[in-house]
Structure 1
Amino acid sequence: MIAITLLGVPWALFALVNRQIQRETLPSKFKLGWFYAEGSCGGFRAYAFGLSEWSAKEITQQGIAYFADIDVSDHAAVRKMYHGEWKATPLPSSFFGDGLASILHCGEKGSLLWPTGVTEALKRSGSYYQQSGMRVLFVLPQPGLVVGVLD
Protein backbone atom coordinates (compact mmCIF):
# COMPACT_ATOMS: atom_id res chain seq x y z
CA MET A 1 0.00 0.00 0.00
CA ILE A 2 2.81 2.39 0.84
CA ALA A 3 4.57 1.64 -2.46
CA ILE A 4 1.39 2.43 -4.39
CA THR A 5 1.06 5.71 -2.51
CA LEU A 6 4.73 6.59 -3.05
CA LEU A 7 4.38 6.02 -6.79
CA GLY A 8 0.80 7.14 -7.27
CA VAL A 9 0.94 10.55 -5.61
CA PRO A 10 3.85 11.91 -7.71
CA TRP A 11 2.27 10.50 -10.88
CA ALA A 12 -1.08 12.11 -10.07
CA LEU A 13 0.60 15.45 -9.36
CA PHE A 14 2.53 15.24 -12.63
CA ALA A 15 -0.67 14.41 -14.53
CA LEU A 16 -2.49 17.40 -13.05
CA VAL A 17 0.38 19.80 -13.78
CA ASN A 18 0.76 18.41 -17.31
CA ARG A 19 -2.96 18.85 -17.97
CA GLN A 20 -2.82 22.47 -16.77
CA ILE A 21 0.21 23.20 -18.98
CA GLN A 22 -1.62 21.71 -21.97
CA ARG A 23 -4.71 23.78 -21.15
CA GLU A 24 -2.51 26.90 -21.16
CA THR A 25 -1.35 26.13 -24.72
CA LEU A 26 -4.91 26.70 -25.93
CA PRO A 27 -6.31 30.18 -26.59
CA SER A 28 -8.36 31.28 -23.59
CA LYS A 29 -11.11 32.30 -26.00
CA PHE A 30 -11.98 28.60 -26.14
CA LYS A 31 -14.18 27.81 -23.20
CA LEU A 32 -13.41 24.22 -22.37
CA GLY A 33 -15.62 21.49 -21.04
CA TRP A 34 -14.81 18.67 -18.66
CA PHE A 35 -13.44 16.14 -21.16
CA TYR A 36 -9.71 15.46 -21.41
CA ALA A 37 -7.61 12.70 -23.00
CA GLU A 38 -3.95 12.37 -23.92
CA GLY A 39 -1.94 9.82 -25.84
CA SER A 40 1.62 9.64 -27.06
CA CYS A 41 4.12 7.50 -28.90
CA GLY A 42 7.60 7.98 -30.31
CA GLY A 43 8.08 11.42 -28.75
CA PHE A 44 4.85 12.85 -30.17
CA ARG A 45 1.85 13.78 -28.07
CA ALA A 46 -1.75 14.41 -28.91
CA TYR A 47 -4.30 15.65 -26.42
CA ALA A 48 -7.96 16.54 -26.58
CA PHE A 49 -10.10 18.83 -24.47
CA GLY A 50 -13.84 19.14 -24.73
CA LEU A 51 -15.23 22.45 -25.97
CA SER A 52 -18.08 23.99 -24.03
CA GLU A 53 -21.41 24.00 -25.85
CA TRP A 54 -21.22 27.80 -25.95
CA SER A 55 -17.82 27.79 -27.71
CA ALA A 56 -18.89 25.11 -30.17
CA LYS A 57 -22.00 27.11 -31.03
CA GLU A 58 -20.05 30.38 -31.45
CA ILE A 59 -17.48 28.74 -33.73
CA THR A 60 -20.20 27.09 -35.82
CA GLN A 61 -22.09 30.39 -36.19
CA GLN A 62 -19.07 32.62 -36.89
CA GLY A 63 -16.95 30.20 -38.90
CA ILE A 64 -13.37 31.27 -39.63
CA ALA A 65 -14.19 34.81 -38.40
CA TYR A 66 -14.22 33.42 -34.84
CA PHE A 67 -10.42 33.17 -35.01
CA ALA A 68 -9.76 36.77 -36.12
CA ASP A 69 -9.03 38.00 -32.58
CA ILE A 70 -7.71 34.75 -31.14
CA ASP A 71 -4.24 36.23 -30.49
CA VAL A 72 -5.51 39.36 -28.72
CA SER A 73 -4.12 39.32 -25.17
CA ASP A 74 -7.35 38.45 -23.38
CA HIS A 75 -8.10 35.64 -25.86
CA ALA A 76 -4.58 34.28 -26.43
CA ALA A 77 -2.90 31.22 -25.00
CA VAL A 78 -0.76 31.68 -21.90
CA ARG A 79 1.86 29.37 -23.44
CA LYS A 80 2.02 30.08 -27.16
CA MET A 81 2.81 26.71 -28.75
CA TYR A 82 0.77 26.93 -31.94
CA HIS A 83 1.26 29.38 -34.77
CA GLY A 84 0.11 29.89 -38.31
CA GLU A 85 -2.89 30.94 -40.27
CA TRP A 86 -6.25 29.47 -39.30
CA LYS A 87 -7.70 27.34 -42.07
CA ALA A 88 -10.97 25.51 -42.57
CA THR A 89 -11.30 21.79 -43.08
CA PRO A 90 -11.48 19.46 -44.89
CA LEU A 91 -7.75 18.86 -44.56
CA PRO A 92 -5.78 18.41 -47.76
CA SER A 93 -5.36 14.74 -48.63
CA SER A 94 -1.57 15.16 -48.26
CA PHE A 95 -2.10 15.61 -44.52
CA PHE A 96 -3.07 12.00 -44.17
CA GLY A 97 0.07 10.86 -45.96
CA ASP A 98 2.79 13.06 -44.48
CA GLY A 99 3.01 11.74 -40.95
CA LEU A 100 0.71 14.15 -39.12
CA ALA A 101 -2.16 11.72 -39.23
CA SER A 102 0.08 9.13 -37.54
CA ILE A 103 0.52 11.51 -34.60
CA LEU A 104 -3.25 11.56 -34.18
CA HIS A 105 -3.04 7.78 -34.32
CA CYS A 106 -0.57 8.01 -31.39
CA GLY A 107 -3.20 9.91 -29.43
CA GLU A 108 -5.80 7.32 -30.23
CA LYS A 109 -3.63 4.30 -29.46
CA GLY A 110 -1.94 5.85 -26.44
CA SER A 111 -5.12 6.82 -24.59
CA LEU A 112 -7.92 4.77 -23.14
CA LEU A 113 -10.25 7.76 -23.40
CA TRP A 114 -9.39 9.10 -26.87
CA PRO A 115 -12.58 10.46 -28.48
CA THR A 116 -14.00 8.90 -31.60
CA GLY A 117 -14.68 10.88 -34.75
CA VAL A 118 -11.59 13.13 -34.80
CA THR A 119 -10.21 11.94 -38.15
CA GLU A 120 -13.67 11.90 -39.71
CA ALA A 121 -14.31 15.51 -38.60
CA LEU A 122 -11.04 16.58 -40.23
CA LYS A 123 -12.08 15.07 -43.56
CA ARG A 124 -15.26 17.19 -43.80
CA SER A 125 -15.96 20.91 -43.60
CA GLY A 126 -16.96 22.67 -40.39
CA SER A 127 -13.72 22.39 -38.39
CA TYR A 128 -10.59 24.55 -38.27
CA TYR A 129 -6.87 24.12 -37.76
CA GLN A 130 -3.63 26.00 -37.28
CA GLN A 131 -0.32 24.38 -38.24
CA SER A 132 3.35 25.15 -37.82
CA GLY A 133 5.53 22.19 -38.74
CA MET A 134 4.48 19.11 -36.80
CA ARG A 135 2.51 21.17 -34.27
CA VAL A 136 -1.15 21.39 -35.13
CA LEU A 137 -4.16 22.66 -33.25
CA PHE A 138 -7.53 21.38 -34.43
CA VAL A 139 -10.87 22.88 -33.40
CA LEU A 140 -13.80 20.57 -34.06
CA PRO A 141 -17.13 22.19 -33.07
CA GLN A 142 -18.81 18.90 -34.01
CA PRO A 143 -17.96 16.71 -31.98
CA GLY A 144 -17.04 19.56 -29.60
CA LEU A 145 -13.28 19.11 -29.23
CA VAL A 146 -9.98 20.96 -29.33
CA VAL A 147 -7.11 18.64 -30.26
CA GLY A 148 -3.47 19.62 -29.89
CA VAL A 149 -0.58 17.78 -31.53
CA LEU A 150 2.96 18.43 -30.29
CA ASP A 151 6.36 17.14 -31.30
Structure 2
Amino acid sequence: MKKETWVLKIAVIFIMLPVLAIIVFGFPAIIRDAAESSMQMAIVLYGILAALSLSIFPFAAALFQSFKLLNYIDHNEAFSDKSVDALRKIKRYAFSIAAVHVLSFPLYFIVGEVDDAPGVILIGLMFVSAPAVIAVFAAVLEKLLENALDIKRDNELTI
Protein backbone atom coordinates (compact mmCIF):
# COMPACT_ATOMS: atom_id res chain seq x y z
CA MET A 1 0.00 0.00 0.00
CA LYS A 2 1.45 3.33 -1.02
CA LYS A 3 1.86 6.13 1.47
CA GLU A 4 -0.19 8.54 -0.61
CA THR A 5 -3.43 6.57 -0.46
CA TRP A 6 -3.37 4.66 2.81
CA VAL A 7 -4.90 7.59 4.69
CA LEU A 8 -7.70 7.76 2.14
CA LYS A 9 -8.29 4.02 2.34
CA ILE A 10 -8.53 4.23 6.12
CA ALA A 11 -10.93 7.18 5.72
CA VAL A 12 -13.15 5.13 3.39
CA ILE A 13 -13.28 2.39 6.01
CA PHE A 14 -14.07 4.89 8.79
CA ILE A 15 -16.84 6.46 6.70
CA MET A 16 -18.73 3.18 6.92
CA LEU A 17 -18.59 3.15 10.75
CA PRO A 18 -21.33 5.80 11.32
CA VAL A 19 -23.58 3.90 8.92
CA LEU A 20 -23.04 0.71 10.89
CA ALA A 21 -23.76 2.65 14.10
CA ILE A 22 -27.04 3.88 12.62
CA ILE A 23 -27.95 0.33 11.67
CA VAL A 24 -27.09 -1.05 15.11
CA PHE A 25 -28.36 1.79 17.31
CA GLY A 26 -30.60 4.00 15.16
CA PHE A 27 -32.85 1.40 13.58
CA PRO A 28 -33.91 -0.15 16.90
CA ALA A 29 -34.63 3.35 18.26
CA ILE A 30 -36.81 4.15 15.24
CA ILE A 31 -38.64 0.84 15.61
CA ARG A 32 -39.14 1.48 19.35
CA ASP A 33 -40.51 4.99 18.65
CA ALA A 34 -42.81 3.60 15.99
CA ALA A 35 -44.16 0.98 18.38
CA GLU A 36 -44.89 3.63 21.03
CA SER A 37 -46.57 6.12 18.69
CA SER A 38 -49.87 6.19 16.84
CA MET A 39 -50.53 4.01 13.82
CA GLN A 40 -50.18 6.91 11.35
CA MET A 41 -46.84 7.96 12.84
CA ALA A 42 -45.67 4.33 12.86
CA ILE A 43 -46.30 4.14 9.11
CA VAL A 44 -44.29 7.34 8.57
CA LEU A 45 -41.41 6.09 10.73
CA TYR A 46 -41.37 2.72 8.97
CA GLY A 47 -41.25 4.61 5.66
CA ILE A 48 -38.18 6.52 6.85
CA LEU A 49 -36.65 3.25 8.02
CA ALA A 50 -37.31 1.70 4.60
CA ALA A 51 -35.67 4.67 2.85
CA LEU A 52 -32.62 4.42 5.10
CA SER A 53 -32.45 0.68 4.50
CA LEU A 54 -32.68 1.13 0.73
CA SER A 55 -29.88 3.67 0.73
CA ILE A 56 -27.43 1.48 2.68
CA PHE A 57 -26.71 -0.81 -0.28
CA PRO A 58 -25.75 1.86 -2.83
CA PHE A 59 -23.77 3.65 -0.11
CA ALA A 60 -21.70 0.53 0.60
CA ALA A 61 -21.28 -0.08 -3.14
CA ALA A 62 -20.07 3.50 -3.65
CA LEU A 63 -17.54 3.08 -0.84
CA PHE A 64 -16.35 -0.15 -2.46
CA GLN A 65 -15.92 1.66 -5.79
CA SER A 66 -14.00 4.40 -3.98
CA PHE A 67 -11.70 1.79 -2.52
CA LYS A 68 -11.21 0.28 -5.99
CA LEU A 69 -10.42 3.73 -7.37
CA LEU A 70 -7.76 4.19 -4.70
CA ASN A 71 -6.30 0.81 -5.67
CA TYR A 72 -6.15 1.94 -9.31
CA ILE A 73 -4.25 5.01 -8.17
CA ASP A 74 -1.85 2.77 -6.22
CA HIS A 75 -1.15 0.70 -9.33
CA ASN A 76 -0.62 3.79 -11.54
CA GLU A 77 -3.89 3.18 -13.37
CA ALA A 78 -5.56 6.44 -12.36
CA PHE A 79 -5.88 7.52 -15.99
CA SER A 80 -7.61 4.41 -17.27
CA ASP A 81 -11.06 3.35 -18.38
CA LYS A 82 -11.43 1.38 -15.13
CA SER A 83 -11.16 4.62 -13.16
CA VAL A 84 -13.80 6.25 -15.35
CA ASP A 85 -16.08 3.26 -14.79
CA ALA A 86 -15.56 3.46 -11.01
CA LEU A 87 -16.40 7.18 -11.02
CA ARG A 88 -19.46 6.52 -13.18
CA LYS A 89 -20.68 3.88 -10.72
CA ILE A 90 -20.05 6.20 -7.75
CA LYS A 91 -22.10 8.88 -9.53
CA ARG A 92 -24.99 6.48 -10.17
CA TYR A 93 -24.98 5.18 -6.61
CA ALA A 94 -24.97 8.71 -5.21
CA PHE A 95 -27.84 9.77 -7.48
CA SER A 96 -29.82 6.70 -6.43
CA ILE A 97 -29.31 7.52 -2.74
CA ALA A 98 -30.43 11.10 -3.38
CA ALA A 99 -33.48 9.86 -5.32
CA VAL A 100 -34.54 7.54 -2.50
CA HIS A 101 -34.34 10.38 0.01
CA VAL A 102 -36.09 12.87 -2.29
CA LEU A 103 -38.99 10.45 -2.41
CA SER A 104 -38.95 10.04 1.37
CA PHE A 105 -38.48 13.74 2.16
CA PRO A 106 -42.22 14.32 2.82
CA LEU A 107 -41.97 11.74 5.60
CA TYR A 108 -39.25 13.78 7.32
CA PHE A 109 -41.46 16.84 6.96
CA ILE A 110 -44.38 15.02 8.60
CA VAL A 111 -42.22 13.92 11.54
CA GLY A 112 -40.85 17.45 11.88
CA GLU A 113 -44.33 18.95 11.93
CA VAL A 114 -45.83 16.43 14.35
CA ASP A 115 -42.91 16.51 16.80
CA ASP A 116 -42.42 20.26 16.28
CA ALA A 117 -38.75 19.59 15.54
CA PRO A 118 -37.42 21.47 12.51
CA GLY A 119 -34.09 19.66 12.94
CA VAL A 120 -35.69 16.50 11.56
CA ILE A 121 -36.48 18.35 8.34
CA LEU A 122 -32.86 19.52 8.12
CA ILE A 123 -31.65 15.96 8.63
CA GLY A 124 -33.88 14.84 5.77
CA LEU A 125 -32.50 17.67 3.65
CA MET A 126 -28.97 16.54 4.50
CA PHE A 127 -29.80 13.01 3.32
CA VAL A 128 -30.85 14.52 -0.02
CA SER A 129 -28.17 17.15 -0.54
CA ALA A 130 -25.02 15.27 0.55
CA PRO A 131 -25.32 12.46 -2.02
CA ALA A 132 -26.41 14.96 -4.67
CA VAL A 133 -23.24 17.00 -4.11
CA ILE A 134 -21.13 13.83 -4.24
CA ALA A 135 -22.85 12.76 -7.46
CA VAL A 136 -22.23 16.12 -9.12
CA PHE A 137 -18.60 16.07 -8.00
CA ALA A 138 -18.17 12.52 -9.32
CA ALA A 139 -19.75 13.57 -12.63
CA VAL A 140 -17.30 16.48 -12.95
CA LEU A 141 -14.36 14.20 -12.14
CA GLU A 142 -15.63 11.61 -14.60
CA LYS A 143 -15.81 14.18 -17.39
CA LEU A 144 -12.35 15.55 -16.56
CA LEU A 145 -10.88 12.06 -16.51
CA GLU A 146 -12.50 11.22 -19.85
CA ASN A 147 -10.98 14.37 -21.37
CA ALA A 148 -7.58 13.51 -19.88
CA LEU A 149 -7.83 10.01 -21.34
CA ASP A 150 -8.65 11.45 -24.76
CA ILE A 151 -5.60 13.72 -24.57
CA LYS A 152 -3.46 10.78 -23.41
CA ARG A 153 -4.65 8.63 -26.35
CA ASP A 154 -3.98 11.46 -28.80
CA ASN A 155 -0.46 11.88 -27.41
CA GLU A 156 0.20 8.15 -27.72
CA LEU A 157 -0.70 8.29 -31.41
CA THR A 158 1.58 11.25 -32.03
CA ILE A 159 5.08 10.33 -33.09
User: Shared fold by TM > 0.5?
Assistant: no
**Whose helix fraction is larger, Structure 1's or Structure 2's?**
2
Structure of higher RCO (CA pairs closer than 8 Å, 6+ residues apart): 1
With the shorter chain as reference, the TM-score category is under 0.3
Higher CA-based Rg: 2
**If each structure's strand is expressed as a fraction of its own residues, which one has the higher value?**
1
